[in-house]
Structure 1
Amino acid sequence: MLNRLPSDISALLEARTPGHSLPAGLYTREDVFEADIDVFFHKHWICIGLDCDVPEPGDATVVDIGKTSLILLRDDEGEIRVLHNVCRHRGSRLLDPGTTIVSKLVCPYHTWTYELTGELSHAPHMGKDFDKECHSLKAVNFKSIGGLIYACLSDNPPEDIARLEETMLERLAPYDIRNAKVAHQTDVIENGNWKLTMENNRECYHCSANHPELCVSFVDLDFGFDPETLSPEDLEQAREHFRLYEERTKGWEADGYPSAAVEQLLDCATNFRSQRLIIAGAGESQTHDATAASSKLLGHMTRKDLGDVHLWGMNGWNHFMGDHAVVAIVIPLSAGRTLVRTKWLVHKDAVEGKDYDLDKLTDVWIATTDQDADLVARSHAGVLDPAYRPGPYSKFSEIGLDKFATWYVDRMRAHGY
């Protein structure tokens, strides 16, 4: 296959029709995938994990992004570090994928040894004039925002993450995610492009037909509807729902819990949206009966009626509830394969079988993620079909998708495509 030039990708970007999905090549071509990794996963802030992934000094986990491998760890002083998983000798990987516990970072090739801060402490047979200080591991720019670890591989990370930080530090403070515990994690590989994964998550047009478990606690009206297609009874129900939203939001904020929608979706580098959503039914948690899965609430929480603080990011989505949180991180593997890594968080002292039931904690989002994986695979197969033409987004239910596609094109152009 001939290597395509950035100008060739530019033609695809120019072909995008506002209000419509992207041209097929932007989902399917490997050269576009490589450009996506370079632009979005190297030069923008991405969520790579959590403080509580590495709760104790010496805890480490490896996160691979394209050809780049990162080590997220906690050093001997209890500080979080993000380091490149590349020995400064001849480039060997230091740690294998997955989680581990280390006292030092020792290269398995020639035993160059690094402190958990990244400083080179031992390099045998390199001579007396060898300067160890010049060969520390390369550190990565990162921020812990309320316990979520955002990294940027660029030396000039976007400054507009400040609004995300300001918004979420306040919203996440009562949940104390930094000191939570990962009760469960799943890795699901979706057979589709990462942008299809993100588009699928940013609309609930498909929810009522595909997510019966989630719809017990999730209100699909929150993501838009066409008022002209509703019966008078359903329209009145929708209006009542949004009257309730206004009332709840005012009440939550009066009690000191920021709740109103905050969006940074266009004309920006750091793409996010957050809002405190009403939980349907029993109103406590995203479980199969909408009641709390854990009797021990997260962090400093004392209430189960504070809804779901949702956070969309560029490469994931999050739901923070009184009793537990769900954090999903999206990592592209190829043009047609995407890893969705989902973590369920509980209070650090919560005990399985006593304070929470693992099946109740996880069953809704395990089912939802599997259902979404099937939908994304269907979408990707359709985009590969020669008959595919970009279709119109719903102006009621898919506004977020149009904004995401617009933002994607704008950011690609900003980086020279």
Structure 2
Amino acid sequence: MLSTFSSSISALLDARAEGYTLPAGLYTREDVFGADLDVFYRNHWIYIGLECDVPEPGDATVIDIGSTSLIVLRDDDDNIQVVHNVCRHRGSRLLDAGPTVISKLVCPYHQWTYELSGELVYAPHMGTNFDKSCRNLKTVNFKSIGGLIYVCLSDTPPQDIANLEAVMEERLAPYDIRNAKVAYQTDVIEKGNWKLTIENNRECYHCAANHPELCVSFVEQDFGYDADTLSQEDRAEAEEYQRLYEQRIKAWEAGGYPSAPVEQLAGHATNFRTQRLIISGKGESQTADTTAASAKLLGKMSRKDLGDTHLWGHNSWNHFMGDHAVTSMVIPLSANRTLVRTKWLVHKDAIEGVDYELAKLTSVWIATTDQDGELVGRSHLGVEDPAYEPGPYSPFTEGQLDNFATWYVERMRAHGY
């Protein structure tokens, strides 16, 4: 039988109506926040970073998710490792948050020392009968998919991550994200629940009024419209664009660049969607003038006209273009605070001031992320208001939000709520 704690959350899940936003408590309550961390950040695959965050042996970085702290590192054999940031002696944190360079992992408390593989090699004053092999660092289930690192903190991770792996290894291969480099990173704390952050990212209903920089490179028709309300001229324009897009998809795929939409959403454990979209204007990149920000293209790319390959999951969104990529991950901090960490990637040999200018590379998504943060904050204030009641999603522009809310309820149910 479900506990009172679970039953109260269950009642909120019961109250969610198809086609409508979630009940307020699912965004605002602390017990729901705790359940969300457990279900979606411990028992599902989440994106936490990149292989190129740790490009050389000895490079390490710490990512905190709730009370869990993880170390992503590159070991002496040039392999990626993900281990818990917990000494096997008395639990001390080994490394502080953020990036660092190490030759071994040495606990600052009592100097227990681990190889970069996680093997315990030195534990002073523990006696001759002490078995070090039983005290190696705890490892984490992880996968590098095209250079993007996904982890699952559960001992029984969802197996359908294999579908994401199969789709995205092929799609990301030309960009060679494993051998890119991080040109810039921002951390933005949004004053809202993580689900509001994801919902805001899943639609562009709000884009025309709020994202002038981003809309320069986006094609409005890609994000849905009510054809019945369009003028004859606008309807003809939308239909012509659809024909153009279908032709472009065929041409891209004929050239060896998978482009058609692939999605695994409601009805599955691992949530993702990918599609290659046309970039408007000059068609090269998501920059202020839609031309490439970097003269040195990513990986094996030789063309600037391959649009924007986007990929999103339940805690991330990513855009891969010929010249650069933008990746964002979402980490809940509290019921009403969410970290959005965004990274801009360029070819590993690209030189700032020679191959690219940082302002051109970053300006569009810096502005967009700041704008989104304000919108999420306004949304959270609204769902906290006693006057809030779930509102209807637009069937034309917000269908993916309905899909996300449906998936959210399904996965909560699957974990006993």
Normalised to the residue count of structure 1, the TM-score between the two structures is 0.99
User: 1:69-94 CA deviation, whole Å, 9 max, x = no partner?
Assistant: 00000001100000000000010000
1:240 is aligned to 240
Answer yes or no: is 1:332 the counterpart of 2:332: yes
User: 1:272-323 CA deviation, whole Å, 9 max, x = no partner?
Assistant: 0000000001000000000000000000000000000000111010000000
1:124-135 equivalence runs, <5 A:
124-135=124-135
* Partner Cα separation in structure 1 for residue 245 and residue 266 of structure 2: 25
* Partner Cα separation in structure 1 for residue 54 and residue 180 of structure 2: 11
Structure 2 counterpart SS, 1:289: coil
2:10 is aligned to 10
Q: Which runs of 5+ in 1 are unaligned?
A: none
- What is the alpha-carbon root mean square deviation over aligned residues? 0.8
* Partner Cα separation in structure 1 for residue 352 and residue 253 of structure 2: 33
Amino acid at match of 2:120: L
1:249-398 equivalence runs, <5 A:
249-398=249-398
Amino acid at match of 1:196: L
1:37 is aligned to 37
Amino acid at match of 1:167: V
User: 1:371-398 CA deviation, whole Å, 9 max, x = no partner?
Assistant: 0000000000000000000000000000
CA apart distance, 1:220: 2.8
* Partner Cα separation in structure 2 for residue 272 and residue 161 of structure 1: 9
8 Å contact from structure 1 (residues 205, 220) kept in 2:
no
Count of aligned positions: 415
Name the stretch that deviates more: 156-165 or 231-240. 231-240
* Partner Cα separation in structure 1 for residue 231 and residue 67 of structure 2: 52
* Partner Cα separation in structure 1 for residue 290 and residue 21 of structure 2: 34
8 Å contact from structure 1 (residues 264, 270) kept in 2:
yes
* Partner Cα separation in structure 2 for residue 101 and residue 48 of structure 1: 19
Structure 2 counterpart SS, 1:41: helix
Structure 2 counterpart SS, 1:354: coil
1:150 is aligned to 150
* Partner Cα separation in structure 2 for residue 4 and residue 116 of structure 1: 44
Percent identical residues: 75
1:214 is aligned to 214
* Partner Cα separation in structure 2 for residue 29 and residue 406 of structure 1: 19
* Partner Cα separation in structure 1 for residue 219 and residue 47 of structure 2: 26
* Partner Cα separation in structure 2 for residue 113 and residue 141 of structure 1: 22
CA apart distance, 1:4: 5.8
CA apart distance, 1:233: 1.4
* Partner Cα separation in structure 1 for residue 171 and residue 411 of structure 2: 28
Amino acid at match of 2:159: E
* Partner Cα separation in structure 1 for residue 114 and residue 122 of structure 2: 7
* Partner Cα separation in structure 2 for residue 4 and residue 73 of structure 1: 41
* Partner Cα separation in structure 2 for residue 163 and residue 401 of structure 1: 22
CA apart distance, 1:356: 0.3
Structure 1 counterpart SS, 2:42: coil
* Partner Cα separation in structure 2 for residue 128 and residue 275 of structure 1: 59
Structure 2 counterpart SS, 1:10: helix
CA apart distance, 1:240: 1.1
* Partner Cα separation in structure 2 for residue 281 and residue 268 of structure 1: 37
* Partner Cα separation in structure 2 for residue 316 and residue 174 of structure 1: 21
Structure 1 counterpart SS, 2:212: coil
8 Å contact from structure 1 (residues 120, 137) kept in 2:
yes
1:60-79 equivalence runs, <5 A:
60-79=60-79
1:112 is aligned to 112
Structure 1 counterpart SS, 2:276: strand
Normalised to the residue count of structure 2, the TM-score between the two structures is 0.99
Answer yes or no: is 1:171 the counterpart of 2:171: yes
CA apart distance, 1:241: 1.1
Query: Are residues 4 and 99 of structure 1, via their aligned partners in 2, closer, same or farther at CA, if it must alter by over 3 Å?
Result: farther
1:90 is aligned to 90
